[in-house]
Each structure stands twice: as C-alpha cells, then as structure tokens.
C-alpha cells in the first residue's frame, strides 16, 4: 500500500519541541530502541575515508545483510567489504545489488558470494533517477535502497 499526503498537516506547537535531529551522543540509545522493533542490532556502521580524511563510503552491517553500502570507487567498496566480513554474523551475509552493477558483482564474487536468485523489479510511475547509481553497492532490501 502506498499513501501520499494530499493535504497539509498543522502540528500543534507543543509537538514541535519533542522531535529534533539525532546527536552523536544519542546513537547508543537509538540502537537500543531499534533492536527489539527490528529484531537485530544494527549498530555496525563502517565509514571509509580517503587520505585527506573525507568520507568516501559507508556500509551498514546488519545481522545477515550488508547494506546500505555506498562507495565512491570499487577500491573504497572493497575496503568496506573486507572490514565488514571480519564481523560476526548470525548467518552468512547477503547483499541486494543491481544486476547491472558489474563492478559490485565482480567484487562480491571475488569475496566468495554467489548468486542465490535473480529478481525483476516492478515499478509504477517514472523511474527513480540517481545521478551516481554506480556508488550503490548494496541496498537495505529489495524494496529499500
């Protein structure tokens, strides 16, 4: 089911003060709150940086899924993958990746991953335009990037 807002919402003033952007010191509390709802701890976020210290990729290692996984280059993606694979998983990790992302597929195959199934994506409406789709090495799920 897809819902779309068709009329604006007016929030009472007293509710505006109860939501704020996440502060780094609150991250552990978010993980604790998220774990029972999701069914697994999703704390392992790996970040890659280039030699000048700028972020060049990140990978979220979940209980059995690697993703989202975004990297500027295949070398950055590989560094993230190697660090992620050193973590403990509840089961052999899986990656949801586009069949057209040949660099990701080659990297995953070199790292011991094999294709389990191939799925067609259905969509309604205009295709999603991503300017740097080659940066997406792994999705959170088949329905969520």
Can you give the CATH number for the domain in which 64 is found?
3.40.630.90
Which pair of structure tokens corresponds to residue 20?
């704020």
What pLDDT, on a 0 to 100 scale, did the predictor assign at position 130? 56
Instruction: Write out pLDDT tens, residues 29-42.
Output: 877 877 776 666 66
Would you tell me how many other CB atoms lie within 10 Å of the CB of residue 76?
21
Instruction: Write out pLDDT tens, residues 103-143.
Output: 999 999 999 998 887 766 656 677 655 556 788 888 876 65
Domain count, the chain: 1
Helix (H) or strand (E) holding 68: strand 66-71
The answer as to whether 36 is a domain residue is no
Boundaries of domain holding 56:
41-113+132-145
The set of residues, in sequence order, having a beta carbon less than 8 Å from that of 5 and lying 6+ positions away, is none
> Structure pTM?
0.69
The answer as to whether 126 is a domain residue is no
């Amino acid at each position: 089911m897809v819902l779309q807002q068709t009329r604006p919402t007016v929030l009472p003033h007293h509710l505006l003060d109860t939501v704020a952007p996440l502060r780094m010191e609150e991250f552990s509390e978010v993980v604790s709150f998220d774990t029972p709802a999701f069914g697994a701890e999703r704390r392992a976020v790996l970040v890659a940086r280039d030699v000048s210290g700028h972020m060049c990729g990140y990978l979220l290692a979940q209980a059995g899924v690697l993703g989202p996984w975004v990297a500027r280059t295949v070398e950055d993606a590989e560094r993230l993958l190697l660090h992620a694979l050193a973590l403990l998983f509840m089961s052999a990790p899986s990656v949801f990746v586009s069949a057209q992302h040949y660099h990701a597929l080659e990297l995953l195959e070199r790292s011991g991953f094999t294709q389990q199934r191939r799925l067609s994506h259905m969509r309604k409406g205009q295709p999603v335009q991503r300017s740097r789709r080659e940066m997406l090495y792994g999705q959170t799920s088949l329905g969520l990037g």
